[in-house]
Each structure stands twice: as C-alpha cells, then as structure tokens.
C-alpha cells in the first residue's frame, strides 16, 4: 500500500454519518409568542448567532430541538407569502386568494438590531420563554 493510499484511508475514518462534530452543550427550548394575550398563530422565530430558527405553530409556540447555552436576541418574522411564486411544473397555477391580514408583528421585533426580546439559555434554567408583543 502506498503512502497516498494510507493517507486516503486515514482521511476517510472521520467521514461516517455519525462521526461529525458533537453538538455544543445546550438544550431544547420552547418560545411562545402572544399578541394581546392571544397566541400569534404564524410566523418564524430566529435566534441571533448560532441559536437557529423555528416556525411558529397555531398555538404561538416555536420548538427548538437544541439551542447552545448562551444569550440570544429573539427576532420574529411574518410568514412568507408564497402566493406569487411560479409553480414548478407546467400545470396552470390555481389562483390563490388570501385575505389580507394586518401585520401583527411590529417592525421593531423583525430585526436583530431593534428587537427588545432577549433570552438566556443556561443549564439548570427553564427551557420555556413567553413574550407578548403588545405589552
């Protein structure tokens, strides 16, 4: 076996599907977003840095499977309007009629630089956070 072959075999040792970098210490969390006491039923939540993102469910909750310990700004985005996206096939698109809804997410919550919402994910603390956008 040549040196190239040996080097190739050694490089492949770390290429298995379960041998990647371990997750940073963290835990699952739930963030619930309310608007005047009622669940915000749609949208997306992003956490600054390596916190990740999740979709808001009809109960106003966003479930994050693993968030590394740290402090994060919470950014809330309105749902994406996909009604004007071209279809992927040649079929005639079905007209989509959506009732226009006022944006329930004030602009200050939609940008990392302006959101006042912040969480700290730490060992031994609760993994549930709740924010009301109208308070």
Number of domains present in the structure of the chain:
1
- On whether residue 93 sits in a domain, the answer given is no
Looking up residue 131, the CATH number of its domain turns out to be 2.60.40.10
- On whether residue 51 sits in a domain, the answer given is yes
What order of strands is seen across the sheet that includes strand 70-77? 52-55, 44-47, 70-77, 118-121
Q: Rounded to 5 degrees, what are φ and ψ at 58?
A: -65, -20
- On whether residue 6 sits in a domain, the answer given is no
Which residues have C-beta within 8 Å of that of residue 75, sequence separation ≥ 6? 45, 46, 47, 48, 109, 110, 111, 112, 115, 117
35-43: average pLDDT: 94
Q: What is the mean pLDDT of the chain?
A: 81
- On whether residue 37 sits in a domain, the answer given is yes
With 90 as the cut, is the pLDDT of residue 10 above it? no
Full residue range of the structural domain in which residue 30 is found: 22-80+102-135
Nearest CA to 117 out of 129, 128, 99 is that of 129
Give tens-digit pLDDT for 86-115.
666 666 655 554 444 557 899 999 999 999
With 60 as the cut, is the pLDDT of residue 33 above it? yes
Which of 53-57, 69-73, 76-80, 124-128 has the least mean pLDDT?
Answer: 76-80
């Amino acid at each position: 076996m040549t040196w190239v072959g040996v080097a190739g075999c050694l490089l492949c040792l770390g290429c298995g599907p379960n041998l990647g970098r371990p997750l940073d210490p963290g835990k699952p969390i739930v963030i619930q977003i309310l608007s005047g006491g009622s669940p915000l039923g749609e949208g997306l939540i992003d956490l600054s840095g390596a916190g990740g993102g999740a979709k808001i469910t009809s109960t106003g909750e966003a479930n994050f499977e693993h968030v590394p310990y740290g402090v994060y700004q919470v950014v809330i985005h309105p749902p994406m309007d996909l009604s004007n996206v071209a279809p992927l096939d040649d079929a005639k698109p079905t007209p989509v009629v959506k009732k226009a809804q006022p944006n329930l997410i004030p602009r200050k919550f939609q940008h990392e630089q302006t959101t006042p919402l912040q969480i700290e994910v730490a060992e031994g603390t609760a993994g549930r956070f709740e924010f009301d956008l109208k308070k």
